[in-house]
Chain A
Amino acid sequence: MTDEKKLDEQIARLVRSVELGIPPAVEAKIQEAAADLRPRAGRFWLRRPFWLTLIPSAAAVLLAVIALLPTLQKPPTQIAEIRTEFEIADKNIKIIFFQKPDFNLFKEN
């Protein structure tokens, strides 16, 4: 660990021995450009987390949609009538059964 620290210090010393000054022309250019600029207000989502207030609203909308979904759905289709036909060809007889909704198919007497 100390070896690592020593090595880090040595590298840092060598790296920092090269130091470049800011050219005066660059500094002047910056000052000139900054004179025309005005600090802007930061982007609103960075300044204040307004978007956080959207989360409960979005959750409320989602819950409302989930709650209303069954009422918005189409009611299940009901069989209005079951028609069964029998035809005895040689006797020229045709028997037709009608099952209406009031007829309970699975009801035991």
Chain B
Amino acid sequence: MSWSFEGAREPIAEISEMNRERETAMSKTAFWDRLAPRKHKLYNYIRKSLNFSADADDVFQETVLHAFQYIRSYNEDSDFGAWLFGIAHNEIKKHYKKIPKTAAPIELERLSSADTSHTRHLVGEVYRYAERLNPRQREVFFLFYDGGFSMAEISNITGLREGNIKFILNQARNALKTTLGVSHDR
């Protein structure tokens, strides 16, 4: 008597292939659904961290595609935003390794939604300060003030210690205090 599993092998392979397809489709949909509320914030973080360079579009694309490809490595217990911005941080770092100087002078005052010319001037001052920072400091600056991440989250994204983040933010406060404080009294 001979035993053969030839017939049984094919349906099992088919089912597992179907499951894999279904799983892929699910993770694809879940990814775009999760990305949607965060993509503008992500795009702005990349663009601002790269000093409004046009290369930011490519870095944004790389970030999204990388996240999409590795969605399965995302741990459901952790914060999706922090995971996504962590990928963006790595892509920004990679970009700075390739092209160390990235800057594109743009009319910030024109882009700002601020209502008065004085506020628009202050926006320019803040962004000019950010432009002078080194890439890592600039990332921390924008993650905190633009992204609204806490120091613990920034530490998780960038791998920097909270003490270093606190130091960078204090430097920014001290540098901008005079400019903003004087104008605030007006």
Segment touching B, from A31-39, A67-75, A78-86, A101-109: A31-39
Point out the residues of chain B lying under 8 angstroms from A19, CB to CB. 40, 44, 113
B123 engages A46 (CB within 8 Å): no
Query: CB within 8 A of A7: which of B31, B65, B177?
Result: B177
Point out the residues of chain B lying under 8 angstroms from A11, CB to CB. 126, 145, 172-173, 176, 180
Query: CB within 8 A of B61: which of A10, A26, A46?
Result: A26
Within the assembled complex, what's the spacing in Å between the Cα atoms of A28 and B69?
17
Within the assembled complex, what's the spacing in Å between the Cα atoms of A4 and B122?
18
User: Any chain A CB within 8 A of the CB of B64?
Assistant: yes
Query: CB within 8 A of B126: which of A14, A37, A38?
Result: A14
A32-81 CB contacts (< 8 Å) to partner B? 33-34, 37-43, 46-47
Nearest Cβ in chain A — how far from B34, in angstroms? Answer: 13
Within the assembled complex, what's the spacing in Å between the Cα atoms of A18 and B184?
19
B112 engages A17 (CB within 8 Å): yes
User: Any chain A CB within 8 A of the CB of B114?
Assistant: yes
B65 engages A33 (CB within 8 Å): yes
Q: Type the 1/0 row for B118-154, where 1 means its CB is closer than 8 Å to any CB of A.
A: 0100110011001000000000001011101000000
Q: Report, as a range, how many residues of chain B touch the other chain.
A: 35 or more
User: Any chain B CB within 8 A of the CB of A15?
Assistant: yes
User: Any chain A CB within 8 A of the CB of B95?
Assistant: no
Nearest Cβ in chain A — how far from B134, in angstroms? Answer: 18
Within the assembled complex, what's the spacing in Å between the Cα atoms of A81 and B143?
82
Q: Give residues in B with beta carbon < 8 Å to A.
A: 24, 27-28, 31, 39-40, 43-44, 47-48, 57, 60-61, 64-65, 68-74, 108, 111-114, 119, 122-123, 126-127, 130, 142, 144-146, 148, 172-173, 176-177, 180-181, 184
